[in-house]
Amino acid sequence: MSSSYRIPFNKPCLTGNEFNYVSDAIKQGHASGDGPFTRKCQSLLESILVTSKVLLTTSCTHALEIAALLLDLQPQDEVIVPSFTFVSTANAFALRGAKLVFADVRRDTLNIDEKHLEQLLTPRTRAIVPVHYAGVGCEMDAITALAARTGAVVIEDNAHGFLGRYKGRMLGTIGQIATLSFHETKNIECGEGGAILLNDRSFTERAEIIREKGTDRSRFFRGQVDRYTWVDIGSSYVLSDLLAAFLFAQLESRDHIQSQRKRVWMRYAEALTPWAADRGIRTPAVPAGCEQPFHMFYLIVNSLTQRQALIAHLANLGILAVFHYQPLHLSPMGRRFGGMPGDCPVTENVAERLVRLPLYSDLDDPGISEVVNAITSFPD
């Protein structure tokens, strides 16, 4: 992300109308939340996702916090998350005092391993939080069936998978609740932003209240009550309409953004899969039935040493490649929930070997060739 790289890891894709809409939002004089652009974003998202009631939030992290608040978690309650994910997937539930339980991921997709999940399920399991890693759908049929056994709520952390599909269904519409991220590093972005998707509508009214500082302000604006007041716990999770204006431009340009990302991803896959196969290096697996939104292209190399050498080799050529996700169960916080080495062997192994390649809409064909040539010239 440093500008000292000729090819950065990520570059936000500006599609033209961001400045116009932000300037409209300023002229309209409604910079706070739930203004005209928030409503436009929410109804556009609802028309894309169809089954969901959508509320914009300040981030995906905050959308996960709303989800955790909706569950009224008690100290003995357990929430199962993959160990191989971003901190917020777990932290939102730790904040509510729940016991975090870490599941390993599948070798092929790096998604939560439904077989391990089954072993971790107890009568105290209140929620399961699958993360559609790289936007490739988790085994949602198996996961929802397991959740039904204990009455656990399925909360899809869909920070990577907006516009992806699992067996024809949009990711984010399968669990009772789902979350989206519009952070600058995601496909569709507004700097910082997110959304909570309420597929089980019985959560909707309370989600509106939690998002509005514990008040029934939304009911007031609909004319359902004649004043608004403090009715529940909550916090300040409403996105500024200035950011919603930026986001609306991005959402309108989603086909363009996605087709550009697809172009980059496909070129990488075509050029690097045979090279990787000869060296025991893996490229992303996309199972039949999964349509992915081209959020990420990664390599799983053979060792930590090889990863460091590859990242250094690319950096020397002006290309920034990165790795991510230290196993959560082995982090200082994860240890406090009883995480031990060996609990999630695939996560422990893959976290040391994964490299993410630059992927953004403006990466042109010569740029892609440069990355590909740099990788294939790596002396292994």
CB of 59 to ligand PLP, least distance (A): 3
Please, which residue, 112 or 374, has the CB nearer to ligand PLP? 112
Strand pairing class (125-128; 153-157)? parallel
CB of 179: closest distance to ligand PLP in angstroms? 7
**Nearest distance from residue 160's CB to ligand PLP, in Å?**
6
Cβ closer to ligand PLP: 131 or 286?
131
Q: Are 342 and 102 in contact (CB under 8 A)?
A: no
State the minimum distance, in angstroms, from the CB of residue 63 to ligand PLP: 8
Distance CA 261, CA 344 (A): 32
**Where does this chain bind ligand PLP (CB under 6 A)?**
59-61, 85-86, 88-89, 131, 157, 159-160, 181, 183, 194
Closest to ligand PLP by CB, 131 vs 330, is 131
Q: Closest CB to ligand PLP among 159 and 374?
A: 159
Rounded (10°) CA dihedral 351, 357, 360, 366 = 180
- CA atoms in the 13 A half-sphere facing the CB of 175: 29
Identify which of residues 38 and 59 has a Cβ nearer to ligand PLP in the complex: 59
Least spacing, CB of residue 309 vs ligand PLP, in Å: 26
Pairing of strands 125-128, 99-103: unpaired
Give min distance, CB of 183 to ligand PLP, in A.
Answer: 4
Select from 225, 176, 165 the least CA-distant residue to 198: 176
Q: CA–CA separation, 199 vs 207, rounded Å?
A: 12
